[in-house]
Structure 1
Amino acid sequence: MVKMGLKGGGPSGGGGVGPETFSYTFQGDPHAIFAEFFGGRNPFEQFFGARNGGTDEDMDTDDPFARFGMGGSGMGGFPRSFSSGMGGLGGQSSVVKKHQDPPIVHDLRVSLEEVLSGCTKKMKISRKRLNHDRRTLRTEDKILEVQIKKGWKEGTKITFPKEGDETPTNIPADVVFVLKDKPHPVFKRNGSDIVYTAKISLRDALCGSTVNAPTLDGRTLTVSTTDIVQPGMKRRISSEGLPYPKRPDRRGDLIVEYEVKFPERLNQNARDTIAQVLPRS
């Protein structure tokens, strides 16, 4: 049994002038302590009362400690409502979900010669980037190297992930380059084939012709025919086109497409000669 002394705040009822000393005996029971000091087992009832019409599943009206979760499932002796509320102050912070900006698309013009052999294109872009404080921005230039492989077709896309502008609230956009063929002065492209238009005279179309057809790598091929060249007639030269994208060791064809040039005028002697030579049907 332990005895303690508590000093009162004023004189006793007997009119003494010194501090009055009380003594009490610690019983090891919190209810006994409340009863001894406050004159009852539940001194809080006058302040808090009962909730919900006098009923409260979490509070025994005879137990002043029930509201504070002593011995209950609250955190460290705090009320359940208090301990659960601490979660809002603790590690669970609201996270702003960043969304990625739409892709930035650029056309990339390539010549047929570049598609034939493959090449590297260096593209300079200007973009915004976050500084080390992750709040302020700077503008910087960057060189992106685009590897053009042999035979790539028009419309092929090359993507550089997250090379666009960066801000505190976004995920940088992807930068996408889309292959476009440059117009060629000699050839047209048809997939992995290339088309060369050979213009011949009406005489050559009727009597036979020889055409010197160029190639993409600078050579010249001789294409001869003794047949009458019909409208839309074509000659195909194997493996002189562009590489196949999935089989770059193989190539498409060079197609010689004939275009017959008709004379703008004929004199009477030429008309008579043609009329005698050519059948009516």
Structure 2
Amino acid sequence: MRGLKGSGPSGGGGVPGGPSFSYSFQGDPHAIFAEFFGGRSPFDQFFHRNGGGPDGENMDTEDPFARFGMGGSGMGGFPRSFSTGMGGGGMGGQMVEKHQDPPVLHDLRVTLEEVFSGCTKRMKISHKRLNADRRTTRMEDKILEVEIKKGWKEGTKVTFPKEGDETPTNIPADVVFVVKDKPHPVFRRDGSDIVYPAKVSLREALCGCMVNAPTLDGRTVAVTTGDVVHPGMKRRITGEGLPLPKRPDRRGDLLVEYQVTFPERLSQSAKETIAQVLPP
């Protein structure tokens, strides 16, 4: 047959000792299709090469053999635009699934006065951002405004979505600010209550006393007691604490916590007097 050539004995995967053949098409594909279909191209009736038909103007009338790589070097070629590899740039490229990074936590220190009145904190952060090419990054500063609401408790979190570092392979992390109380020179916080440690002498503790307790809004409240004061005893003043987180129109309490100061030494006469007055 024309187009078939015997290549002689071969050690390939054929029958041992038998002939082996290879095939190479040498003809004109246009002529083959003309012989079977009666025309130079089997697609003429669909494409109307000279513009015939209602949609002829918009049809691609390029030679289908050349377009699909069938001319010149054989009939079995793939289209030149096809890609059978799995590289990222071809049709077989795989999409990379992005995952979000874990949250980035920052402590946000606030005073009791700021929790009492509410405030806005301006926090500066630096994070990576993608450039226009979506591959390289740059460092960028940003100011985040954190609104501290009245009465917020320690541990309250404020989240800014996707303000972490951005790279080509990730989803930026959320930036989270966690409210922390700054140590106060006068008060100690207990939820929505505030505790004022009031120092009294042993004499005041035994004989009664009055304490001027300060408040967060700058006032003082007089707290009087005629009872014997035990170390650690507390007196509650209603409504002088911090605003309640869910009811900022209402407030917690101010707790006056007595701390009794004992004398470092007593004279012999003082000891004898106290021994006669105090019960055994």
TM-score normalised by length of structure 2: 0.68
Give 1:133 deviation, angstroms.
1.5
2: CA distance between counterparts of 1:99 and 1:232?
Answer: 53
Q: Give the distance between the partners of 1:204 and 1:184, measured in 2 at CA.
A: 26
Per the alignment, do residues 88 and 153 of structure 1 end up closer, same or farther by CA in structure 2, a change over 3 Å counting?
farther
The CA deviation at 1:94 is: 2.2
How do 1:233-272 and structure 2 match up within 5 A?
Answer: 233-272=233-272
Q: Give the length in aligned residue pairs.
A: 203
CA shift, 1:232, in A, is 2.2
Displacement, 1:231? 2.9
Classify 1:31/1:145 alpha carbon distance in 2 versus 1 (closer, same or farther; 3 Å): closer
Residue identity opposite 1:122 in structure 2: R
Q: Which runs of 5 or more structure 2 residues have no equivalent in the other structure?
A: 1-33, 39-77
CA distance in 2, matches of 1:227, 1:145: 50
SS in 2 for 1:128: strand
Q: Deviations along 1:191-230, whole A, 9 cap, x unmatched?
A: 0000000000011101100001000111111100011112
**Partner Cα separation in structure 1 for residue 84 and residue 226 of structure 2:** 92
Please report how far the alpha carbon of residue 137 of structure 1 lies from its aligned counterpart in structure 2 after TM superposition: 1.3
Give 3-state SS (helix, strand or coil) of 1:199's partner. Answer: strand
Alignment of 1:1-281 (within 5 A): 30=36, 93-280=93-280
Distance 1:133 1:252, change over 3 A: same
Report what 1:72 is aligned to: none
Amino acid at match of 1:144: L
- Partners of 2:93 and 2:116 lie apart in 1 by 56
How far off its partner does 1:234 sit? 0.6
Give the whole-Å Cα distance in 2 for the aligned partners of 1:177 and 1:205.
Answer: 44
Q: % of aligned pairs identical?
A: 74
SS for the counterpart of 2:163 is coil
Hey, what's the Cα distance between the residues in 2 that align with 1:135 and 1:247? 49
Structure 1 CA distance for aligned equivalents of residues 161 and 84 of structure 2? 37
Partner Cα distance (2:199, 2:159) in 1: 42
- Indicate the RMSD between aligned Cα atoms, in angstroms: 2.4
* Structure 1 segments (4+ residues) deviating >4 Å: 28-32, 86-93
Give the 3 Å change call, closer, same or farther, for CA 112–161 of structure 1 in structure 2: same
TM-score, normalised to structure 1's length? 0.68
* Cα distance in 2 for residues equivalent to 1:112 and 1:231: 26
Q: CA deviation at 1:186?
A: 0.5
Mapped to 2, the partners of 1:214 and 1:104 lie a distance apart of: 38
Question: Which residue identity lines up with residue 133 of structure 1 in the other structure?
Answer: D
Q: Which protein is bigger by CA-based radius of gyration? A: 1
- Deviation sequence 1:138-187 (CA, Å, 0-9, x none): 11100000000001100111110000111111111111110110000100
Give CA-to-partner distance per residue, 1:76-119, whole Å, 9 cap, x none.
xxxxxx99xx7979977521111111111110000000000110
